[in-house]
Amino acid sequence: MLLQKNEELLILDGEPATMTDSTIDLKDGSQLEAKTVILATGFQPALPAQSWLEKLIMEQKLNCAKCGYPIVNESLEWCPHLFMAGPLAELEIGPIARNISGVRHAAERIATSL
């Protein structure tokens, strides 16, 4: 949490439970009163869709980095006819893989290889 008293800027990482016109009750029990709220949503750094993905990795003996993410080629192909985009292409595309720009890059690479 960051509070700059002069500008009255509060940066808070938390999940809202309930909200009224000027009060936000957070799931951790804390309460925040504000005139203006800027909501920034993001994503978890964890590997998405772990349950089915882990099964696929084991069954197909797919190569993964130590972090669990797929090791894909430049065309984003993990194994024959299985291509990655979005978070699963992050090791090849980079940090933009999770946003629309990254998906565009992935689509170009995949389309070029087909």
Q: Domain spans of the chain?
A: 2-33, 50-113
Dihedral sign, Cα of residue 14, residue 89, residue 86, residue 58: negative
More confident residue, 93 or 1: 93
pLDDT at 21 over 80: no
By CB atoms closer than 10 A (0-12, 13-18, 19+), residue 97 is buried
Residue 109 three-state SS: helix
Answer yes or no: are the C-beta atoms of 48 and 58 closer than 8 Å. Answer: no
- Which amino acid makes up residue 69? Y
How does the average pLDDT of the chain come out, rounded? 81
Query: pLDDT (tens digit, 9 = 90+) per residue, 45-98?
Result: 677 767 778 888 888 899 999 988 999 999 999 988 889 998 899 999 999 998
